[in-house]
Amino acid sequence: MFENLNYEIEEKQGSSLEISAEAPWDNISGTFEKSVNRIRSRAELPGFRRGMAPVNVIKQRFMAEIKSDFLEKFAPEMVSAILEKEGISPVTTPEISSLSLEENEPFKLGFKVETLPDFQLKKYKKLKLSKKTCKIEEKDVDKAIDNLRERNASLKEKKEVAGEGDFAIIEFKVEKNGTEIKLDMPQERFVEIGGREPLPGFDSQIKGMKKGETKEFEYVFPDDFGREDLRGESAGFTVTVKEVKHKQLPSPEELAESLNFKSVQDMRSRIRENMQEQSEQNSQNELEDQIVDELLSRHSFEVPEGLIEESLQERVRQAEEFLKSRGGDPSGVDRELIKERVEKDIRAGLVLSRIARQEGIEVTEEDRKAEEDRIMSHYGIKDRKQAEKYVNENYILTGKVFTFLKENAKIKDEKTAYTPGKEGQ
């Protein structure tokens, strides 16, 4: 069917190809007639039994449907035949750009494909890198425990006036020019004295009040307030304190017991280990970021736009869903910023993949088993077959390439103070 195909391949910007192909009518007439017969078999016309209308009538009445059926069957096969013959591996779905189908005339088809960019691998060994190392000090562990005590604090009723760090449950109403206005917040809510507050400075008006007291005051809304009509405007607030509570921190001994540690010393040891592990992981992540930046500075090539767009759509969708889940506005997603990140990730992946081929780095069965073990341990999965579903070979291969590059790099240790992450909050 595709023996006498004529086609031309034109290289476009980047790694895009535009292919113009032509198939003689004798090559496609059989496929075209099959499309005619398929449409004829289900066509219903007055005066004819189903499937028995004359072919010329079918062609006259249903040519659009016949062409659509033909293209659905023939065009993908024609595209595949050309790509296979030329050894072209598209990274996105080929895009039909033009076509011409007339009976007894050659079938003409134009389509675009995007391929992986061709680039020369530059020097990637003996990269000059710096690795941050830190020693966890006693003061770092103290701070981590203080943070844990804060997070595990309980609120107790307080009869005295609300002070710094206390919480007040208040009820309020707002009036402007004698008319009550509603804000996009509960009229009975918690206020932390000295804490983060959607109405900056509002908590200072509550400070010094106690349960049962009511206070009236004027408040000027900030210039960046959510409601435009209230920005910079003054309104009268009437606030009643329903309750005052103070934060009671657990002692280190109580904290250790509540977190199922054998003792305070056991808790401190485990926290130190976690902090050291996290610090090392952060250091490795930063090292890999340096490697990517070094490699990309040495390899300049264009990434197929279609490849970027496919990943971009998914990243934007994830970002929008994340904002929605946090009560945010999905329109606040910075598409351009995400696109820059996507392009960088794809470029890095292509360079790392090329290095893997150059150095013969592959994913072995032992690597897969080790990843399965990690997944089972981390997520508490007991069934190995279930864990197999979550094994990402590209993730494993990337990790092996990073390990190779680190082993062949010139790394200078840089001592630094511990920076708290999640483990120190």
Which sequence spans correspond to the domains of the chain?
Answer: 6-114, 154-248, 255-424
pLDDT attached to residue 252: 96
Give CA separation, 106 vs 37, 81, 122, 265, 374, in Å: 21, 17, 47, 84, 58
Task: Return all residues near 109 (Cβ < 8 A) that are at least 6 apart.
Answer: 20, 21, 22, 23, 75, 78, 79, 96, 98, 99
To 10 degrees, what angle do helices 335-359 and 393-407 make?
Answer: 70
pTM over 0.75: no
Say what the pLDDT of residue 326 is: 76
Pick from 20, 174, 201: nearest CA to 97: 20
Determine contact, residues 96/70, Cβ cutoff 8 Å.
no
For domain 255-424, which CATH number applies: 3.30.310, 1.10.3210, 1.10.3120, 1.10.3470?
1.10.3120
d(CA 392, CA 372): 10
One fold for 6-114 and 154-248: no
User: Which pLDDT score is estimated for 425?
Assistant: 38
Can you tell me the distance from the alpha carbon of 395 to that of 363, in angstroms, rounded to the nearest whole number? 10
Distances (CA, A) of 204 to 12, 163, 169, 188, 219: 65, 9, 14, 17, 11
Write down the residue that tokens 């040495």 correspond to.
298
Domain 6-114 adopts which CATH fold? Alpha-Beta Plaits (3.30.70)
Contact in structure between 363 and 397 (CB atoms under 8 Å): yes
Res 118: pLDDT: 86
Cα separations in angstroms, 376 against 382, 399, 421: 6, 19, 25
Per-residue model confidence (pLDDT) at position 421: 59
The CB density around residue 103, as the number of other CB atoms within 10 Å, is 12
> What Rg, from alpha-carbon coordinates, does the chain have?
34
pLDDT at 2: 67
Average pLDDT, 10 consecutive residues per value, the chain (425 residues): 82 87 92 93 87 90 93 92 92 91 93 91 96 93 95 93 94 94 89 90 94 95 89 95 95 96 96 94 95 96 89 93 82 92 95 97 96 93 92 95 97 88 45
Q: 154-248: what fold?
A: Chitinase A; domain 3 (3.10.50)
Between CA 332 and CA 319 the distance in angstroms is 9
